[in-house]
Amino acid sequence: MSNSPLTLAQLPIGIAAVIEHLPFGRPALTRLRELGLVPGTTIEVVRRAPLGEPIEILVRGSYIAMRNHEAAFIEVSSRLAS
């Protein structure tokens, strides 16, 4: 098993994960933080567009669409929050 972190862009559809890290200094990620994507939050990829993006995620009861290049910066863990 690899020690490299899993990113939201790599998360399979229907699998819940916990956000571990979002880097600072990227305006698009700042906006996602404002929408509730913060470390410790459970997140799930609901679906992907036919060409792979955008992806639709479920976070805190809301559905949000984002591009893979944004999702690639969000590190997640497959362990569920307690």
pLDDT in tens, 37-64: 999 999 999 999 998 889 999 999 999 9
6-77: CATH superfamily: Ferrous iron transport protein A (FeoA) (2.30.30.90)
How far is CA 30 from its chain centroid?
13
Take residue 48 and report the two structure tokens written for it: 């992907």
Provide the residue ranges of all domains of the chain, joining segments of one domain with +. Answer: 6-77
* Entry pTM: 0.82
Decide if 61 contacts 43 (C-beta within 8 A): no
What sign for the dihedral angle of Cα 70, 26, 44, 72?
A: positive
Nearest-angstrom CA–CA distance, 14 and 16: 7
Nearest-angstrom CA–CA distance, 54 and 6: 18
